[in-house]
Amino acid sequence: MSDRLTLEELAALMKKGAGLTVDPVDLASRPLARFDEFGLDSLGLLGIVGELENRHGRPLPPDADRCKTPQEFLDLVNNTLMTGA
CA–CA dist 5, 22 (Å, integer): 16
Q: What is the pLDDT of residues 2-49, one digit of tens each?
A: 578 999 999 999 998 888 999 999 999 999 999 999 999 999 999 999
pTM of the model: 0.89
- Identify the domain containing residue 13 by its residue range: 7-83
Q: Residue 12: inside a domain, yes or no?
A: yes
Q: What is the pLDDT of residues 55-73, one digit of tens each?
A: 989 899 988 999 999 999 9
User: What pLDDT does residue 2 have?
Assistant: 56
Q: Residue 76: inside a domain, yes or no?
A: yes
Q: Which CATH number do you get for residue 63?
A: 1.10.1200.10
- Classify burial at 63, counting beta carbons within 10 Å of its beta carbon; exposed 0-12, middle 13-18, buried 19 or more: exposed
Q: Residue 38: inside a domain, yes or no?
A: yes
Total domains in the chain come to 1
Q: Residue 54: inside a domain, yes or no?
A: yes
Q: Residue 51: inside a domain, yes or no?
A: yes
Q: Residue 1: inside a domain, yes or no?
A: no
